[in-house]
Structure formats: structure tokens, C-alpha cells
Amino acid sequence: MQSAGMVSSDGMNDGRMMLPDVLKGIAVLAMIQVHLMELFALPDIYISRLGVVSLFLGGPPAAPVFMAVMGYFLARSVAGTGTMVLRGLKLILWGLLLNAGLNMNLFYHIFAGSTALNPLEYLFGADILFLAGLSTILIALFRRAAGKRIVWWLVLMVVVASAGEYIPQPEYGNDLLTYVLSFIYLKTPWSYFPLLPWLAYPLAGYSFYLINQEADQRKLPYGNKITAGFVLLVPLGLSLRYATDITWDLEKYYHHDLLFFLWVLMFLVFWTAMFSLLTKIRLLNRVNGWLQWVGRNVTAFYVIQWLLIGNLATVFYKSLDSSGVLIWYIGITALTVLLVKLFRLAQLRHKERTSPRIS
């Protein structure tokens, strides 16, 4: 359960890049608050302006950032196809184990007969770890054909982002095909991050790395990239209502179209440009350092917060007011930080015990 699991830096040098880690750190913190809003908040809070803001912050700054940064590091990686495929399979296994773990309390109530729900819909919920694993495998395979030809990656990105709009949506039931298609494109209630359109984000990150390499070879001044990011603030601001209408409607968000994907790409360019400046401000060194630590441990952070929130949701489902959600956000985040630190400490001690000693 390493941070490289969700956003891999395998095959790179040991030196860390602060900006991607900070972006991942902010993303997972945004995800914690949106999970609490979706599962803990009273319906009146959920549909309020606060709910709209919460769902937006848990939208473009969260999962798209995870997946785009993952794609960027997959492009940087020198790992072979077999290694990447194996890494993807491990992520899928982690996704299955996480679904089982975060729903343990719910499964108990289902099998005790006090809740009439289908456990398979929760066990095979198409969450982000499944998306990360499947995306890693597909990118590893596509890389063998496309190489570093940027146009191929951009074309595939657009096709993936738009294909779901044109594939018919069959009636779904409780059968194997339904669960398989839910991971690909089918609009079932448990299809949160299907490959269509979400594979487009790691493809965007992969493409950005290739484009960035090309720009560096042509010695494009770094300041121009920052300026380009902030220029997008105008169209983003003018179309913000369009974006919040989609992020508030979860089915539209999870199964969004090409237009919204392009909007999120603009947002990611602006978001990256903004934090590339903020990470250089000395007064924010401590904040940036902490966010970088969270980002370096993003998979452990993500898994632990879901285990806590998922099992507590059976008790507090849609029952808390805004102050209650805030208190739980602070508590869940603090407890997750503590548990991640204990987990890393246990890992370090295990490594020290098992490492060969030089006499």
C-alpha cells in the first residue's frame, strides 16, 4: 500500500517532485470532505450552496488530479510492460479488498437481515483504485504501439472521453455482464469511475508529459506556461455554473461527456499553474511540506480514510448538520494522519528487521 501504487514514480530517480505530491495531497483532502458530504450530511445540507461547493471541490481538484498525475508518472516511468501490468493487477486487488473493508459494517447488517441491499453492488463498486489499475494496464499495452507519438495519445484521449456518449445503455440486472460493464461505461448506481470517460485523465497526464518534453527541447520559457494557466481563469470563471451543475449531479459527473472533460482539462492547467507558484513561496514551506507528505502517502491515506468513513457511514448516514460534518472532517483527517504515520513506522521497523546487516 505505497504511495507509488496510485500515482507511480517507479523507474525514476529517488528525488521527489514537490508539485505533483502537493497536488495529490490536496486531492485526497478534498476527497475526504466530499465523501463525508455525500454520506454523512443531511439532505438539506447536501442540496444547499455548501453542498454544491463541497461537491465541486471533491470533483475537478480531486479524482481528475489523481488520474492525470498518475498518467504523467506512467509516462516518466522506465518500467517494462510486464511490471506495469502486474502493478495494475495489484491495484485492482487493492480496490476489491478496499471495497470489502469499507463496507464491513454494511455487510454485517445485510447478512444479519436488518438491511435489504445487494452486497455485490458494494463489493464490486467501480471506485478509483479499479480505475487506476485498469488504466495502468491499458496504458502499458497502448505504449507498445504508440511509443512517444503525441498525436496517438491525444486521439485516444478524445475517443475515450467521448465514446461513452455514443454506446447504447442496455438494461442492467444482477448478472456478470452488468458488473463487468459497470467498470467500463454502464451507468449503474455503483459505477463511480468507469473507464469511459475516466481513462482520458491518465491519458491527458501521459500526453502532457510528452508535450512538456517537446516544449523543453524547444526551450519554451517556464513563465509562459504559468501565464497560459492563469489566462484560463477567465473562461473558467464564466463557465463555473456549468461545471458546478455537473459536479452536483453525481451521475452526470461520473459519466460526463467530452465537453466537461475539456473544461476539467482547462481547470487542471490553471490549478497546476497556481500551485506551481504557491509551492515556491517560502512562507508556505511548512504547509507545502505537509501537503507533500500527504501526497507521498496518498494510497495509504486514501485507503485508511475510506475504511473509516465507509464503516461509520452505516451509523451516521445522512444524519449530520454542517457543524457535525466539519467536526467529523477534522477528526477523520487527524485520525488518518496518525494511522498513516503508524503504518509507515511499522513498515520502517519491518524493513530494518529484515534488511541484511553488514558486520
Q: How far apart are CA 222 and CA 235, in angstroms?
A: 22
Q: Kindly list the distances between the CA atom of residue 73 and the CA atoms of 16, 45, 49, 159, 296, in Å, as whole numbers in the listed order.
A: 12, 38, 36, 22, 13
Do 190 and 121 touch, CB atoms closer than 8 A? yes
Q: Locate the DSSP E strands across 74-136.
A: none
What does the alpha-carbon distance between residue 229 and residue 268 come to, in Å, rounded to a whole number? Answer: 9
Answer whether 305's CB lies under 8 Å from 98's CB: no
Q: Do residues 119 and 110 make contact, with C-beta atoms less than 8 angstroms apart?
A: yes
- Enumerate the domain spans of the chain: 3-354
DSSP 20-55: HHHHHHHHHHHHHHHHHHHHHB-HHHHTSHHHHHHH
Report which DSSP code applies to 239: T
C-alpha 132/C-alpha 141 separation (Å) is 14
Q: Tell me the C-alpha distance between 234 and 60, whole Å.
A: 17
- Nearest residue to 264 (alpha-carbon basis) of 287, 283, 246: 246
Q: What is the largest CA-CA distance in the chain?
A: 67
Per-10-residue mean pLDDT of the chain, 359 residues long, equals: 41 62 96 97 95 97 97 95 97 97 96 93 97 98 94 97 94 92 97 98 96 74 67 93 96 97 96 92 93 95 97 95 96 97 92 71
Buried b vs exposed e over 205-238: b needs ≥16 C-beta within 10 Å?
Answer: bbbbbbeeeeeeeeeeeeeeeeeebeebeeebee
User: Which pLDDT value is given to residue 231?
Assistant: 86
Grid cell locating 11: 523507474
Torsions phi, psi of 347, nearest 5?
Answer: -60, -45
C-alpha cell at 192: 463511480
| Residue 356 DSSP symbol | P
Q: Distance (Å, rounded) from C-alpha 138 to C-alpha 16? A: 26
Contact yes or no for 21/291 (Cβ under 8 A): yes
Helical ranges in 147-257 per DSSP H:
150-163, 176-182, 195-198, 200-217, 222-231, 233-238, 240-248, 250-254
Q: What is the pLDDT of residue 223?
A: 56
Evaluate whether 121 touches 103 at the Cβ level (below 8 Å). Answer: no
Output helix, strand, coil percentages for the chain, rounded to the nearest 5: 75, 0, 25
Q: Identify the DSSP state of 191.
A: B
Neighbouring residues of 189: CB distance < 8 A, sequence distance ≥ 6 = 121
